[in-house]
Amino acid sequence: MTPRDGGGRAEGADPTGSEAVAARLLAALDEQLAAADAALASRYPGDRPGRQPVHTLYVPADRYGPELVPASGAAALRALEEQPDGFAAVVRDDDIVARVRAKLGTEPVEDLRIDFEDGYRGKSEAEEDADAVRTAQALARSQRAGDAAPFGGIRIKCLEAATRARGVRTMTSFLATLLEHGGSLEGWVVTLPKVTSVDQVEAMVYVCGELERGFGLPRGAVRFEIQVETPQSILGPDGTALVARMIHAAGDRLTGLHYGTYDYSAFCGIAAPQQSLEHPVADHAKVVMQAAAAGTGVRLSDGSTNVLPVGTADDVRSAWANHHRLVRRSLERGFYQGWDLHAAQLPTRYAATYGFYRQGTPDALERLVSYTGGTAGRIADEPATARALASFLLRGVDCGAVDAAEVSGASGFDTERLDIERLHALARTGR
């Protein structure tokens, strides 16, 4: 006999034919949307895996040497020793102060950019040629000694006609020398400044490919980031968001978008005293960058403040307070990386970053435990927010703000189980 359900209808029967209709529709839709599905997966692969540095320290090429990273940590610690009360008054958390001191003693610089552009002025062609070779040798030496930052790169001059030859020449010479002296390209990028057209981005892709072929490197070994510091890189002549087209023109060679505070502000006609990474023109540019980069795997970095913690005790404390506030502001707006221009900015970079993650961790854990356990919590989170909660915790662990043991001890999670791609599986099983 044919099994029947409670209503007397044979199990598996479909008297309305809806299942057959749905199957035909699905097959037709799969065919119709195949190209769109493939394009979506290609253009928006999701977050880039791995650690993102919390900052980039820019150093003019003529000031760079193999000992720069440990020297920067020592300089930052001296600043704390000279102004312990001023720093404590800004941070107001003894645990964070201790964590900052430990960070400065072990990994003071997470990302270092050797600058051959605006920070490197008044040099002759011969001097830049010599510095390109010398700095590449110094980086290779620091890598061998274990003193290099975990991430790094160079900023070249832009691809506008007047500086194009110089930029390409420096990039080529630096790369050739670094490879010749056994240097590593792991975590290494080239910063392309003052981008004004998609054509320049496509040209940079071409340059990277040719350098790989010329030096026998695997495809993708040479990558770059775009510095958004011209209005043309945000708004094209046709009124479209040109930065979005730049991202997709660059493909997987593009690692990040870095906002350039002062060039962008100046191009927009903002007077010097009002130029800041929190000016409305800056916020507009960064919101466009954020929307354009979402889901692409391209990371974002905020700009810098040129108010440096030097001078009198009051000057230093005021600059620290300003920097600490601005870093926290950027973090709250989803910019998890930013520029630093001086070693004495490193303490407040880490203090603000650590405070952001430590203060948010208990709530993130509570919400994530409720979500993955399928229990009703104070907030009804959706999958996208749960992914953001997991990402928040992973960023906190990566930068040293939160210990992995704190996360696993409070929730039973470990950092592997908090991997974003596995979050949905956790939500289904509740384990």
Closest CA to 298 of 54, 46, 57: 46
How far does Cα 6 stand from its chain's mean position? 58
Report pTM.
0.90
Q: Which of 326, 358, 390 is the last residue of a domain?
A: 358
> Where is 14: in which H helix or E strand?
none
The whole-number average pLDDT for the span 238-248 is: 95
Q: Are residues 331 and 365 in the same domain?
A: no
Does 9 have pLDDT greater than 60?
no
Q: Are residues 59 and 128 in the same domain?
A: yes
The pLDDT tens digits for 363-417 are 998 888 887 776 766 777 788 888 888 889 889 989 999 988 888 776 666 666 6
The whole-number average pLDDT for the span 6-20 is: 64
Q: Are residues 178 and 230 in the same domain?
A: yes
The pLDDT tens digits for 159-168 are 999 999 999 9
The whole-number average pLDDT for the span 353-367 is: 93
Total residue length of the chain: 431
Question: Taking the CA of residue 319 as centre, how many other CA atoms within 13 Å lie in the half-sphere pointing to its CB?
Answer: 23
Q: Is position 37 within any domain?
A: no
Q: Are residues 291 and 178 in the same domain?
A: yes
Q: Are residues 236 and 163 in the same domain?
A: yes
Q: Which of 334, 358, 382 is the last residue of a domain?
A: 358
Report the alpha-carbon angle 187-243-394, nearest 5.
Answer: 40
- In this structure, of 39-43, 233-237, 414-418, the range with the lowest mean pLDDT score is 414-418
Q: Are residues 177 and 251 in the same domain?
A: yes
Return the percentage of the chain with pLDDT > 70, whole number.
90
Q: Is position 228 within any domain?
A: yes
Q: Is position 66 within any domain?
A: yes
Domain hosting 285: range is 55-358
Of 335 and 4, the structure prediction assigns the larger pLDDT to 335
Q: Is position 43 within any domain?
A: no
Q: Is position 61 within any domain?
A: yes
- CA dist 18 and 365 (Å) reads 44
Helix (H, G, I), strand (E, B) or coil at 258: strand
Q: Which of 317, 334, 358 is the last residue of a domain?
A: 358
Q: Are residues 334 and 314 in the same domain?
A: yes
Q: Name the phi and psi angles at 191, rounded to 5.
A: -90, 120
Q: What's the CATH code of the domain at 315?
A: 3.20.20.60
Q: Are residues 136 and 262 in the same domain?
A: yes
pLDDT for 195: 97
- CA dist 369 and 377 (Å) reads 9
pLDDT for 17: 80
Q: Are residues 321 and 388 in the same domain?
A: no
Q: For the chain, what is the domain count?
A: 2
pLDDT for 421: 43
What ranges in 272-382 are assigned the alpha helix state H?
280-293, 313-332, 346-373
Q: Are residues 118 and 262 in the same domain?
A: yes
Q: Which two tokens stand for residue 112?
A: 């270092």
Q: Which two tokens stand for residue 250?
A: 């660059």
Q: Give residue 429's pLDDT band: very low, low, confident or very high (50, 70, 90).
A: very low
Q: Name the phi and psi angles at 313, rounded to 5.
A: -60, -40
Q: Is position 139 within any domain?
A: yes
Does 334 have pLDDT greater than 50?
yes
pLDDT for 412: 64
DSSP lists the bridge partners of residue 91 as none
DSSP state of 225: E
Q: Are residues 338 and 238 in the same domain?
A: yes
